[in-house]
Amino acid sequence: MTRISRSLFGDLDVEVELDAPIGVASWFCAGGRADFLVRPQTADALAELLKRCRQIDTPVRIMGEGANLLVDDDGVSGIVVRLDAPAFRSIEHNIDGKLELVRVGAGADLARTLMRFARAGIGGLESLMGVPASIGGAIRMNAGGAYGEIGDAVHAVACLDAGGETRVYTADELRFDYRSTNIVDPIILWTVFSITQENPVRLRERVKEIAAYKSRTQPLGEKSAGCMYRNPIDPETGERVSAGRIIDEVGLKGLQHGSATVSTRHANFFTIERNGRARDAIELGDLVHARVLDARGIELQREVVVWDRSSPERIGNA
C-alpha cells in the first residue's frame, strides 16, 4: 500500500476509505481496490487536495461512474477521488423566463440527468440516452453515439487546473472531436449546456426510441462498460469505420478468455462473468487487438481506460 500520511487530508472536508473496492463499483463489476478512496465534500477541499498531492508527487485518479473503466485485479496505488458529494452533482437553471442554459455538476449521473430533463421538457441532451457516464467523464471523452455527441450541447466548462485553480472555458475555446476534447486540465467541475424547452410528452417518446435502439443492439443487461475500442480510421478509405463490425468480420464475436467474452450482440462490447477477473477482459482486449491487426492491418485504440499499479499517474474524470 502507498505510504500516504493521513495529514494529507486529515484537516480537509473529505470522506476517506482505505482499501476501497473500486473495481466492483465499476460497470464491469470486477477488479481490484484503491489504497485510498477520497470523497471531497466541497470544491475547495478538492482543490486543496489536488495541490497537496502534486506537492508530494502522489498519484491521483478521478473516478466518475466507472462506466468506461477497467481496474486491474491488483488494484491501484495512490488516491482515487470520487465526486459523488452533492456539491458535485447539482443541477441549476434560471427560475424565471425562457430556459436556455443549465449548469450540471461533473459528478452527476448522465442517465439520471437525461431522465430529469425529459420529465421537465428540457431538450438538448436526449441523444446521449443509453450512454453510461458521469457528466465529467462524458465531457472528457466527448461521449456520444449514432444520435449525437455531448459536445454538441456544451456552452461552457469549468475545470481545476494542475495547481488547483478554477478555469472556465467557453464553447469557442473548446474543441470536441471523436471521443476526445482539447481540455488538458485534470479535473472537470461542471458544464453549462445550451438547452431548449420542448413538449415533455414528445421528448419522452424520443428518449424511449433511443433507449429501445440501444437495448436492441447492445448487451445492456450484462457486466460491460460500453465500447472497448474507438472506431478506427480505415487505412484504405481514410474514413472512420465501426470497430465492432471489424471485430465481427475477423470472426471474434463470442471469443472467450477466462471469465471475459466478446459479446455476441455487439462485438465491440466485452462482458465479464459474475465474480470474474478484470485481467481476463484486459488480456482478451490485447488478443482482439493483435488478431485485428494481423487480419486487417488496423490498430485498434482502446476506449475503455485501464488502471493498474504499473500505469503512470492519471488525473482526469473517468
Taking each helix axis from N to C end, the angle separating 200-217 and 110-120, rounded to the nearest 10 degrees, works out to: 150
Q: Which three cell numbers stand for residue 89?
A: 452533482
Domain 88-215: give its CATH code.
3.30.465.10
The pLDDT averaged over each successive group of 10 residues in the chain (318 residues) is 71 95 95 96 96 89 92 95 96 80 96 92 90 93 89 97 93 95 95 94 89 75 77 88 96 97 94 94 97 95 93 55
Q: Which three cell numbers stand for residue 243?
A: 470497430
- Of 24, 4, 23, 6, nearest to 15 by C-alpha is 6
- Type of residue found at 104: V
Q: What is the pTM (predicted TM-score) of this model?
A: 0.88
pLDDT value for 145: 81
Grid cell 499499479 is found at: 309
pLDDT value for 315: 53
Pick the CATH number of 227-302 from 3.60.21.10, 3.30.70.1710, 3.90.78.10, 3.40.50.300: 3.90.78.10
pLDDT value for 1: 41
Contacts of 294 (CB under 8 A, 6+ apart): none
The span from the first CA to the last CA of the chain, in angstroms, equals: 22
Looking at the chain, list the stretches that DSSP marks H as alpha helix, in order from N- to C-terminal side.
43-55, 110-120, 135-140, 200-217, 243-249, 278-296
Q: Which three cell numbers stand for residue 172?
A: 469557442
Alpha-carbon distance 237 to 271, whole Å?
31
pLDDT value for 132: 85
229-263 burial code (b ≥16 CB/10 A, e <16): bbbbeeeeeeeeebbbebbbebebbebebebbbbb
pLDDT value for 2: 46
Pick the CATH number of 6-86 from 3.30.43.10, 3.20.20.150, 3.40.50.300, 3.40.1390.10: 3.30.43.10
pLDDT value for 5: 74
**How would you list the strands of the sheet with 256-257, edge to edge?**
256-257, 260-262, 270-272
pLDDT value for 121: 92
Alpha-carbon distance 22 to 30, whole Å?
9
The domain locations on the chain are 6-86, 88-215, 227-302
Phi, then psi, of 211 in degrees rounded to 5: -60, -40
